[in-house]
Amino acid sequence: MSAIPAPVSRHLRTATLFPPQRPLRLESGATLSHVRVGYEEFGRPDPRRPNTVFVCHALTGTSHAARHGPDDLPGWWEEMVGPGRPIDTDRLHVVCANVLGGCAGTTGPWSPGPTGRALAADFPEVTVGDMVTVHRRLLRHLGSTGLYAVVGGSLGGMQALEWLLRHPGDARRFLLIATGARLSADALAAHAAGRAAIRADPGFAAGRYAELPGAPGPVDGLGVARMIAHLTYMSRTSLETKFGRRHQPPPTPEGAAHGPYAVERYLEHQARTFVTRFDANSYLRLTAAMDGYDAFARPTPVTGPPPAVQVFSFASDRLFAAADTEHLTTRLSALGFPLTHHRDASSEAGHDAFLLRVPGYLDAVADALAAHDHPRLVRQP
Q: Catalytic residue numbers?
A: 154, 317, 351
Closest CA to 60 of 257, 239, 222, 295: 222
- Taking the CA atoms of residue 176, residue 181, residue 184 and residue 187 in that order, the dihedral angle to the nearest 10 degrees is 50
Q: What are phi and psi of 156, to 5 degrees?
A: -60, -35
Residues 328/311, Cβ–Cβ less than 8 Å: yes
**Cα 327 from Cα 168, distance rounded (Å):** 20
Task: Kindly report each contact of residues 344-347 with a partner whose C-beta sits within 8 Å and lies 24 or more positions away, as own/partner.
Answer: 344/312, 344/313, 344/314, 344/315, 345/314, 345/315, 347/314, 347/316
Find how far residue 366's CA is from the centre of its chain: 20
Question: Which candidate, 230, 231, 206, places its Cα nearest to that of 218?
Answer: 206
For residue 282, give the nearest of 201, 376, 189, 218 by alpha carbon: 218
Compute, in degrees rounded to 10, the torsion defined by CA atoms 82, 84, 88, 94. 10
Q: Centre a 10 Å sphere on the Cβ of residue 346 and count the other Cβ atoms it contains.
A: 13
Comparing CA positions, the residue from 133, 131, 39, 130 lying closest to residue 93 is 39
Q: How many other C-beta atoms lie within 10 A of the C-beta of residue 327?
A: 17
